[in-house]
Structure 1
């Protein structure tokens, strides 16, 4: 019975950890929504990778104030992207705002956090400009410190310099301007479920001045990953619960059956059926209580010990669940007594003479 409780507790904690891990991994796939000016020519946008039409940064604030747990998007980041030339090298200069998330979620920002007065440079920028971490670089008349170790990614990031939004606005003399808002859609619906129509209506009601572009391949991959893990957990956890319940019930029945001779002796000595049944039900409840305490403790220990290696991204979020432990402490004795009730009643109602004769 202790093993059954251990399996239930460990399975529930692992399912919770798996859900957190899946959410974080799919979140770290990157932004899959890009909000740009409604005046943007999409041909130019797809060709250059950014919009040449600026928007007021106040639009980001307007959208951020609408963030709640009920909206279909989250993780807002405003950006200003422009071509830029530094010492004869054509690069992409990107300024990033802080990350806005729904209140009370306390989620970590996506990507790197860029400190004031620093920049993050791509590998090609570092190679041609001969720069490395802690070196200084000038953008226009402003001096910045390289804060990263540039590595090759095989993407446009290799020819990009990332800085804080206000720093890029100052360098480009475009104070108070952005040309894109990035976000993640929280619907986790695949293309055939048409999430884009929902998102465009919801965002359009707040910011009619923008058009919403969804990175469909990335959004579909994220949605399918989330949906697959949810379906697995919806099947596995109930299966474990049912199997454990059957297991505990079988143990309770076998316990009563193995005590038939004792029941027969007590009945022959004149003990009442109600008293004998109460004795066995109390014993079953006590065993259930002990099993729940040790099982909850061992199941929690096992997950805390081995969980971090299974879920490395969210390992710090793996912790004991006192509510689950208390639920098991209350439910297991009740279930053990309930499972023992019918076989105990049948045993005490049996003629003691026949019981002793059979044994």
Structure 2
């Protein structure tokens, strides 16, 4: 799944499911976009096939050929940046990427700026505004490309090294914190969960009818890649032990592991709220993505021919509801459409009152 802060940094395209897949020593984020219900295979199968194809290939031309072969065999659609990761969309976006790769070093940041830009963005507040504006622009450019690609069902693969996402947090953390402070916190939400575990590698694991978060906050290693690999390996070990009957709390004392149980009671509010606002006479495509407060679980929900990602605030175990049952209820409600008069204000207000809010702007009528 995505790192805890990655969705706040890059955003989630509408109707998308994302997961990191290890390819050799690299990590790729693989995105499912608007897959037709009749053509959907288990996401893990797609991910495993892609990882196997790409790992077997060398870099350069062989890797590009493997990507093309994967597109033919598993129905993938590849983002152009995945085929040519070093080819900038334009000089400005390339310079933004290079500054992010620098890990926030001000000296290197200045080297990439003109004298005019240095004068314009010389203080911390201006730099934050600059990076926010350029990232918004970059996301819009990338989303525009995806709009042209998602006409056919399948996958979009973009290279997003987890290390690069961590380095980018040096600039984006203040913005993320400001957004978290502004978001309404439902009763029982751990508002500071994101700040406490900033930079951790977060792994959601399913345990029976519940999900837990495992935060790898104290892993040691010579490099970020080593720590990520260690986290992935340990996640597999914990998953196996949980399957054998171990309790999540058994791992709480393990070095570098923080296990937090997150039952899903808050999710049961969503179907009733949406039911009041649904109209069977209108069709919208794609469906909106909902987000709850930082530190929440998230889960993919099939809505007709689409997927959406719903983030779930932390809730009390006494009111926990079976996750699959909740998911089915939401899917049933989302087979209908949202009334346009309520899209901008009433829907957003009612969802916010329940601890949810939209991650991306609501789409207009198809």
What range is the shorter-chain TM-score in? under 0.3
Using the size of structure 1 for normalisation, the TM-score is 0.23
